Amino acid sequence: MNKILNASLAVALLLASAWGTVRAISPYAEAAAGNSSQEQLRKQIVNGLNQRLSTLQVTYSGTASTLKNTIKATLDAAVASDDYLHYIVKTYGYNASITGSKATITFKFTYWETAAQTANVKKKIAEALRGILKAGMNDHQKEKAIHDWIVTHLAYDRSLASHSAYDGLFKGKTVCQGYALVTYEMMKQAGIPVKIVEGTSRGIAHTWNLVQIGGKWYQLDTTWDDPVPDVAGRTSYDYYNLTDAQLKPDHKWKPQSAYPLAVTGYDSVLTTLPAKDAARKTFYEQMYEKLGFLYLTDDYSAANADELANKIATAAALRLKELTIRYERGVTVRSDMKKAFNAQEDLAGFSYSYEDFPRTPENDKLLRIKFKYDE
C-alpha cells in the first residue's frame, strides 16, 4: 500500500540531482549499452530489473536537447512494461552526466522481492492452480476459484510492513499490493487477462486488479473481500467483478490508457449465461446469489420508509426470524428503522445491522434484521 508513496518520493529525490556527478558502481552491476537506441535502452533496463540489479550503468546517445526527457520517459516505460515487475520495484531513479549528445547514466533500484523470491512465487502459484483448477472450467469458474483461494490463504498485514506477493504466500500476510500481485500472477498463469490498478481507497494509497472475463473487463479487489481481522474460511464478494461506476464510491484512480473501462454489469451477464451454457447453470445461479444480485430486485429491496415498513410487516406476519434487504435511503436508515418497528404490534423485539452495498453507486445499505416474537 505504501509502494506508491515510496516510489514517488524516491524518484523526486533522485531526480532533483539527476544531472550531477555519476556515482561509482560495483563492477558486477555494470552494463554498457554503447550508442543504443531508446528501445534498446528500455530493454536493457528491463533486463537489469529482471536480474534485480541495484545499480545499472549505461551510455546513451541522442539529441542533447531531448536527452533528459528521453531518459526519464524510457526509465518509466521500462518499469511499467510489466505489471508484476512494476509493483515489486520499491524505488527507482537515476543520475546522469551529459556531454554534448552523450549521457552516462547510473540507474538505481530497490525491490520488494529478490529474483529468487519471485521465482518461488511463480512456482507456488503454479502448484496452487494445479490443485484448484479443474478440467473443463471456464474463466468464470477459474476466477472464482482463484479469488476464493487468495482470500482464504492470505491475511492483511495490519502493521503495513509486508508489501510483496512473496510475503503473502510464504509469510501469510501482506498489504493490498501483495494481494494485487498474487491475483495478477494467478490470473495470468490461468490464462485470464489481468491488470494491476493503483489509486486510493477511503483516502489511503491502494492497489487492486482489473480482470477480463468473457471479453468484458471488471474491477476486482481481493483485499477488500478479505475480512480484517482475518476470519478463517470467510469469503465475501462485495468487490467481485464491479463496474467502474460501482467501484467509484470508495475507490479513486486516474483514468489512463492502461486501464480498460469496466462498464458491463456482471448481474446481466450471469442472468443470460444459463441459457447459453446449460451445463454450468447451477454455478451461474449460485454466483448470482453469492454476489448479492438478488438485492437488486424489487422483492429484496426497499426504496423508502413506507416500503421498508411494509417489508418488515410482511416478514413479521410470516414470523420470519431474519430478513435481509437492500435499503436505498441509507442516510436515514436509523430513523426509518425506528419508525418501521414502532408500527409493529406483534414483535417482542428486534435487532439489526447494516453495511454498504457496493453493487450500486448510491448510498444504499444492506440491512440484516433479526426478529423476536412473544411465545
What pLDDT is stored for residue 229 in this prediction?
65
Written as tens digits, the pLDDT of the chain (375 aa) is 443 333 333 333 233 223 222 223 333 333 333 334 788 889 999 999 999 999 999 887 766 566 777 888 999 999 999 999 999 999 999 998 878 778 789 999 999 999 999 999 999 999 999 999 999 999 999 999 999 999 999 999 999 999 999 999 999 999 999 999 999 999 999 999 999 999 999 889 999 999 999 999 999 999 999 977 666 767 889 999 999 999 998 999 998 888 999 999 999 999 999 999 999 999 999 999 999 999 999 999 999 999 999 999 999 999 999 999 999 999 999 999 999 888 887 788 889 999 988 888 778 999 999 999 887
User: Which CATH architecture is the domain 3-111 placed in?
Assistant: 2-Layer Sandwich (3.30)
Q: Spelled out in words, what is the top-level CATH class assigned to the domain 295-373?
A: alpha beta
What pLDDT is stored for residue 29 in this prediction?
34
Q: Spelled out in words, what is the top-level CATH class assigned to the domain 115-267?
A: alpha beta
Query: pTM, whole model, 2 decimals?
Result: 0.83
> In this structure, are residues 143 and 183 in contact, taking their beta carbons and an 8 Å threshold?
no
Distance CA 150, CA 162 (A): 16
Domain boundaries, the chain: 3-111, 115-267, 295-373
Q: Where do the H-state alpha helices sit in the chain? A: 3-16, 38-50, 67-79, 83-88, 115-132, 139-153, 165-166, 176-189, 244-247, 266-276, 281-290, 305-317, 333-342
- For the chain, the straight-line distance linking the first and the last C-alpha, in angstroms and rounded, comes to 53
Angle formed by the axes of helices 333-342 and 305-317, nearest 10°: 40
Residue 67, C-alpha cell as written in the block: 536527452
